[in-house]
Amino acid sequence: MILVDSSGWIEYFTDGEKSGKFYFYLKDLKKVITPTIVLYEVYKKIKKELSEQQALEASAQMVKTQLIPLTEEIALQAADVSLEYSLPMADAIVYTTALIHQCKVITLDHDFFKLPRVEIIR
């Protein structure tokens, strides 16, 4: 299992320069977990910058992954992770979700730099 964060999904859906690298991770959606906060961020960004229709189409693909809701356990651990690594709230939730589910985070976001179980796509 892997977790592709918001930056990766957005790169993929907008056919960004590194979208092909994310295709490698997203070709089998059954092996991807997605925190609901990532679904929120991707839908919002694509709707704002492209269109509601494209945001809905992106969401339809994302819900084919294993969606992980924000639980009490994730919220409390994410607060600790945020304090320990100085991560913004959403990044702390994403990272904590990956830790709990013992998977790697695939991202473009340098806020995750030097954290274990993270692969930053360059």
Q: What is the pLDDT of residues 12-27, one digit of tens each?
A: 999 999 999 999 999 9
The residues with which 35 forms a beta bridge, in sequence order, are 68
CB atoms closer than 10 angstroms to residue 11? 21
The CATH code of the domain that includes 40 is 3.40.50.1010
Q: What is the pLDDT of residues 51-103, one digit of tens each?
A: 999 999 999 999 999 999 999 999 999 999 999 999 999 999 999 999 999 99
Stretch 35-41: mean pLDDT: 98
The residues with which 64 forms a beta bridge, in sequence order, are none
Stretch 110-121: mean pLDDT: 92
What's the farthest any 2 CA atoms get from each other in the chain?
39
Q: What domain range is 54 assigned to?
A: 2-120
Structural domain tally of the chain? 1
CB atoms closer than 10 angstroms to residue 23? 11
Say what the pLDDT of residue 119 is: 96
